[in-house]
Structure 1
Amino acid sequence: MSIEVKVPTLGESVTEATVATWFKQPGDAVAADEMLCELETDKVTVEVPAPAAGTLGEIVAGEGETVGVDALLATISEGAGAAPKPDGKSEAKPDGKAAEGKSEPAAAAPAAAPASGGDSIDVMVPALGESVTEATVATWFKQPGDAVAADEMLCELETDKVSVEVPAPAAGTLSEILAQEGETVAAGGKLAVIAAGEGAAPAPQAEAEAPKAEAASAPATKRGADVEDAPSAKKLMAEKGLDPAAVQGSGRDGRVMKEDVMKAASAARAPAAEAPAPAQAPRAPTPADDAGREERVKMTRLRQTIARRLKDAQNTAAMLTTYNEVDMGAVMDLRSEYKDLFEKKHGVRLGFMSFFTKACCHALKEVPEVNAEIDGTEIVYKNYVHMGIATGTPTGLVVPVIRDADSMSFAAIEKAIAKKGRAARDGKLTMADMQGGTFTISNGGVYGSLMSSPILNPPQSGILGMHKIQERPMVVGGEIVARPMMYLALSYDHRIVDGKGAVTFLVRVKEALEDPRRLLMDL
């Protein structure tokens, strides 16, 4: 029976998309809900999952083609009897991932192998969030044969927005890892197998590799059995013929990094250098010499998404930046006077972001085009403010959204910012937390930036850049005095916002911050 794969609903007012990437090819086995391809619209990227398990038959719309809503993309031959690929390897992909269809005789055997020590428990990919169907395995913290406790973290997955930790569903022994670091896995896919119970036997492959483990027992003792050296370090040790036992690791838990291998190689050459040798002409450096000092790291999915969206913003919007400066003295004095009382009453610290959020909401009412967006040939004006607050995290920049910020108090804004900030740093933001923003504030001043031109966060038409507060000589009442000044930058889409509107917006923000009483009186 043949099942049709069609273009899903693309969103309000979006009628067509471009086929960006096919992740499966005709003849490949596919599992239900496994991602088949990715479509791109002028607003979002849409992932198309398989409606049923089977074998991908014909691809009707190739990469680069434009398709309408409900158009036919491909067909799937349904059921366990789906024909394998011509090479007879449909049960396992070349990269080692097991096919996740309904018929899995090859994959079932390893999962059941450790049954002698207890029941086998599958470790599955957890729910990744609304509209997120796949993730990349970032790091395994355990290896086959390691004992694990219930709820102990086994690995970390990365999506294009957040990181997801995968805990052990039960205590036992990790017997098999099915998805290695760097592999892409679908939501609900199988990551590993645990042999439940304290007496669980180690994985068969771990037993088969026992001679290797004994030979490498010295470095394993030095670094710990569950610590794996950096891939670049392994490659370099093999190239230079170094014994792993002779390399002292400087990474976490004794992990050997590339620079450790370079040091060990230099030390090995030192005795030879001390012996007298005939004079030789100095050798000219070659690109190969630099290659040993480089390390290639695959971009995370989040970093890839950030790069794509920022470049799209530059290519799409007529982006322009206008600047002003604000005397922060009044806000700093007000904050110093009331911060202790504010924290005692509301349980949250009074920061600068609530003042800027309030000032921007005030200015957006007067200049509504900065809070609007372009949809085709129409301008969509928003009679509300969903404020995006750009937040730096160890994995990249994210923009959680404070919804209806224009109707919130200072305390409510500060609480919402603190809550979203913690979630961002812990990698706990959901897709819903980062959708629907109408305007964004970015604070580069926390990193010491004095002036910059922020990039728009599409489809928004404006973003305000805050910067470092720095005392500068200013003329006040005919006298030169030192004042705490901050440069402000508004980047905007000139297709919808004129220069007059942009300047007016910044002036209103400046006025509100230099005299915060204006916010109370809506002036």
Structure 2
Amino acid sequence: MSIEIKAPTFPESVADGTIATWHKQPGEACKRDEHIVDIETDKVVLEVVAPADGVIAEIIKGEGEVVLSAEVIAVFNEGADASAPVAAAATPAASSSTAKETVQVKAPTFPESVADGTVAAWHKQPGEACKRDEHIVDIETDKVVLEVVAPNDGVIGEIFKAEGETVLSDEVLANFLVGVSGSAAVVAEAVAPVEAGSEDGVAGPAARKALAEAGLTVADVKGTGKGGRITKEDVDAAAKAKSASAQAAPAPAAKAAPAALPALGADGRVEKRVPMTRLRATIAKRLVEAQQTAAMLTTYNEVNMGPVMELRKKYKDLFEKTHNGTKLGFMSFFVKAATEALKRFPAVNASIDGNDMVYHGYQDIGVAVSTDRGLMVPVLRNTEAMGLADIEAGIMDFALRGREGKLGMEDMQGGTFTITNGGIFGSLMSTPILNPPQTAILGMHKIQERPMAVNGQVVIQPMMYLALSYDHRMIDGKEAVQFLVTIKDLLEDPARLLLEI
């Protein structure tokens, strides 16, 4: 008996899904409730199982195709087995699935807050063999860099979006040839034929861009890639060889060289012009916007870090041993102190939305992390329910993933307050800029020993300047000063953090 295999019934918030992977092919025997296909939605991956013992007779929706809720995706023969007649009947479908099937490689689905992205780097070029889930291209948005992976084993067929081009959500980036190997013979067949003198035929988008930047043509470069294709490394090597030969040339030729070098300015001195990344451009835009739209003021105070340093010195080894290697740092004390102060001064924990003031009944604190791509602010959620060990573990996780470029959009969305620590780079005092739509940001600085008057005597104390920048439209000066003093008091007497007094 034939049974229709349907996609699951999606909830109202999910419009459709995509066939991710077929784990069974036509003619293959299946057991009841055996996993046969994955359907990927914008939220989760759903598993579809066999309705009974039998075989798949026909696949209606192939991998990469979009399916609607409860749509038929295959036909299933109940009670049949994988005998020769059944296999013979399924041969055309099975053979077509292992043939050179072309699927589309698409940009990820961006959240509503991200309009588009830019192709940052292709790690594979047309004709190069790829393994399933292998990293093939980076898409840079104004928040994070997203990795796109190969949908299956095969090769890149044709790239539609070169490095530096803008892409929209779910836009097609390239064609992918499933099941094709990366041999020279296959590459010649897989990649669209081009004219013999065409530069596109021997150099991919990344290599063509590198050729243009180096002032070279394909005739100047010897390709070492598959099928004689020119790679970025080939262009770099040719550029270095050209530079070396120019330096070794006779004096008259050397005098003429500066006029031909694009890296020299009008006055003959070396300059380097590099396009601003999307992330850097967005950071700049948001910082300027914050200064132009908010009534930003900054109040300063100083805190004696001696009590916290003594507490940390006394318990850091026991803390690390108790919490499975999590080290006790200073940031967790500041996060806990800020959380307690935010409870007492709700306006500092609020945000502005148009003409509305939004008061949050939770504390989500962003911690600024410096990465190679720029400043990122991942968010610790519900810090009111976190202990010092949870905070330290979360911050360490953010730092590691930030260095590896693996912070996701979900890590940086939201946040009701931000803490930034310029002290790790040696800053003694600075004015932090607001992170809209938040209304305040706390700046930490370098701990430096200074002579202080204590009980009428001069004592050397480890002091830190604190800076609180705030939006005067939302927060009065009195509240801002009291908020900062509360943090100072809690840090100078850490027992108050435990007693919440």
Whether 2:487 is the aligned partner of 1:509: answer yes
Q: Check whether the contact 1:149–1:170 (CA below 8 A) recurs between aligned residues.
A: yes
Q: Check whether the contact 1:237–1:244 (CA below 8 A) recurs between aligned residues.
A: no
Mark the runs of 5 or more structure 1 residues left unpaired by the alignment: 1-31, 33-114, 217-224, 246-251, 278-285
Letter aligned with residue 368 of structure 2: A
Q: 2:147 aligns with which of 159, 165, 175?
A: 165
Q: 1:234 aligns with which of 212, 216, 219?
A: 212
State the Cα distance separating 1:329 from its structure 2 match: 1.6
Secondary structure of the residue aligned to 1:208 is coil
Q: Which has the larger radius of gyration?
A: 2
What's 1:391 paired with?
Answer: 369
Secondary structure of the residue aligned to 1:320 is strand
Q: Check whether the contact 2:105–2:174 (CA below 8 A) recurs between aligned residues.
A: yes
What's 1:305 paired with?
Answer: 282
**1:372-413, Cα deviation, whole Å (9 max, x unpaired):** 233444543333322111222222222222222123222222
CA 1:226–1:153 in 2, change beyond 3 Å: closer, same or farther? farther
Q: 2:478 aligns with which of 478, 500, 506?
A: 500
Q: 2:125 aligns with which of 133, 140, 143?
A: 143
Secondary structure of the residue aligned to 2:481 is helix
Q: Where in structure 2 are the equivalents of 1:298-447 lying within 5 Å? A: 299-347=276-324, 348-447=326-425
What's 1:118 paired with?
Answer: 100
State the Cα distance separating 1:135 from its structure 2 match: 2.2
- CA distance in structure 2 between the aligned counterparts of 1:429 and 1:185, rounded to whole angstroms: 20
CA 1:359–1:235 in 2, change beyond 3 Å: closer, same or farther? closer
Whether 2:465 is the aligned partner of 1:465: answer no
Q: Check whether the contact 2:123–2:135 (CA below 8 A) recurs between aligned residues.
A: yes
CA 1:292–1:116 in 2, change beyond 3 Å: closer, same or farther? farther
Greater shift after overlay, 416-425 or 332-341? 416-425
- CA distance in structure 1 between the aligned counterparts of 2:254 and 2:239, rounded to whole angstroms: 26
Letter aligned with residue 166 of structure 2: T
- CA distance in structure 2 between the aligned counterparts of 1:520 and 1:338, rounded to whole angstroms: 15
Letter aligned with residue 194 of structure 2: A
- CA distance in structure 1 between the aligned counterparts of 2:314 and 2:98, rounded to whole angstroms: 69
CA 1:125–1:316 in 2, change beyond 3 Å: closer, same or farther? same
- CA distance in structure 2 between the aligned counterparts of 1:276 and 1:124, rounded to whole angstroms: 48
Secondary structure of the residue aligned to 1:452 is coil
Q: Check whether the contact 1:156–1:165 (CA below 8 A) recurs between aligned residues.
A: yes
CA 1:275–1:520 in 2, change beyond 3 Å: closer, same or farther? closer
Secondary structure of the residue aligned to 2:329 is coil
Secondary structure of the residue aligned to 1:188 is coil
TM-score, length basis structure 1: 0.64
CA 1:142–1:232 in 2, change beyond 3 Å: closer, same or farther? closer
Q: 1:134 aligns with which of 113, 116, 125?
A: 116
State the Cα distance separating 1:178 from its structure 2 match: 1.4
What's 2:160 paired with?
Answer: 178
What's 1:208 paired with?
Answer: 194
Letter aligned with residue 475 of structure 1: A
- CA distance in structure 1 between the aligned counterparts of 2:306 and 2:232, rounded to whole angstroms: 48
- CA distance in structure 2 between the aligned counterparts of 1:491 and 1:255, rounded to whole angstroms: 50
Q: 2:454 aligns with which of 476, 479, 495?
A: 476
- CA distance in structure 2 between the aligned counterparts of 1:227 and 1:494, rounded to whole angstroms: 50
What's 2:432 paired with?
Answer: 454
CA 1:338–1:147 in 2, change beyond 3 Å: closer, same or farther? same
Q: Check whether the contact 2:221–2:234 (CA below 8 A) recurs between aligned residues.
A: no
Q: Check whether the contact 2:138–2:145 (CA below 8 A) recurs between aligned residues.
A: yes
Greater shift after overlay, 423-432 or 333-342? 423-432
Secondary structure of the residue aligned to 2:484 is helix
What's 2:32 paired with?
Answer: none
Secondary structure of the residue aligned to 2:250 is helix
- CA distance in structure 2 between the aligned counterparts of 1:254 and 1:480, rounded to whole angstroms: 63
Secondary structure of the residue aligned to 2:366 is strand
What's 1:65 paired with?
Answer: none
- CA distance in structure 2 between the aligned counterparts of 1:327 and 1:464, rounded to whole angstroms: 16
Letter aligned with residue 135 of structure 1: G
- CA distance in structure 1 between the aligned counterparts of 2:410 and 2:129, rounded to whole angstroms: 36
CA 1:199–1:456 in 2, change beyond 3 Å: closer, same or farther? closer
TM-score, length basis structure 2: 0.67
State the Cα distance separating 1:364 from its structure 2 match: 2.3
Greater shift after overlay, 194-203 or 286-295? 286-295
- CA distance in structure 2 between the aligned counterparts of 1:254 and 1:471, rounded to whole angstroms: 51
State the Cα distance separating 1:431 from its structure 2 match: 3.5
State the Cα distance separating 1:492 from its structure 2 match: 0.8
Letter aligned with residue 382 of structure 2: D
CA 1:275–1:169 in 2, change beyond 3 Å: closer, same or farther? closer
Secondary structure of the residue aligned to 2:285 is helix
CA 1:291–1:482 in 2, change beyond 3 Å: closer, same or farther? same
State the Cα distance separating 1:481 from its structure 2 match: 3.8
Greater shift after overlay, 169-178 or 197-206? 197-206
What's 2:38 paired with?
Answer: none
Letter aligned with residue 158 of structure 1: E
- CA distance in structure 1 between the aligned counterparts of 2:286 and 2:349, rounded to whole angstroms: 19
Letter aligned with residue 195 of structure 1: L
Q: Check whether the contact 1:142–1:226 (CA below 8 A) recurs between aligned residues.
A: no
**1:272-310, Cα deviation, whole Å (9 max, x unpaired):** 217999xxxxxxxx943558632232x332222222221
Letter aligned with residue 334 of structure 1: L
Q: Check whether the contact 2:442–2:466 (CA below 8 A) recurs between aligned residues.
A: yes
Q: Check whether the contact 1:455–1:463 (CA below 8 A) recurs between aligned residues.
A: yes
